[in-house]
Amino acid sequence: MSSTPSPAIPEVDIDRASIVPAPDDAVFVAWATAALAALHLTGVNVAVRLVDEGEARQLNRDYRGKDYAPNVLSFPLDDDFPLPPGEPRPLGDIVLCLPVVQAEAAEYGKTFEQRLAHLLIHGLLHLAGHSHDEEPRRLAMEALETAIMADLGLPDPYLSDLSTLAPQ
């Protein structure tokens, strides 16, 4: 028996560099695995880094020329290089800024976990080549995000739950 992981099972590496508490790695792996399965992506590796505003802002400034901390950044790996048998193909990196995600969750009437799952899925779709730069592509991407969230038992990320937070 070989200890090499099956190339069909995606590998999700979580790197925690934020002081904001976040779900266990297994939760991120479950979310990512569901999204990758919906995209029919097997045998891939994805790196997810959980950061605070300073690092997110610096990365956004360095790679996109924008001086603010975004909720999510995606860095697809476009190289098509040969891999040893059984090795997963690197798909790219996702950076999630936890303080921004936390603030947005409150603003949009979502739980932190719901917003975090949505943005991880959003980032994975970007790594897979999806974009929201034009209206038809945005609508298709949002529909896919909503379907993946539903598969995970999570609510539509584009419907606000603020009415449930209002005092009665």
| Binding-site annotation, residues for Zn(2+) | 122, 126, 132
List phi, psi (to 5°) of 88: -70, 150
Residues 6+ apart with CB under 8 A from 109: 160, 161, 162, 163, 164, 165
Name the binding residues. Answer: 122, 126, 132
What is the C-alpha separation between 118 and 149, in angstroms, rounded? 7
Is there a contact between 102 and 53 (Cβ–Cβ < 8 Å)?
A: no
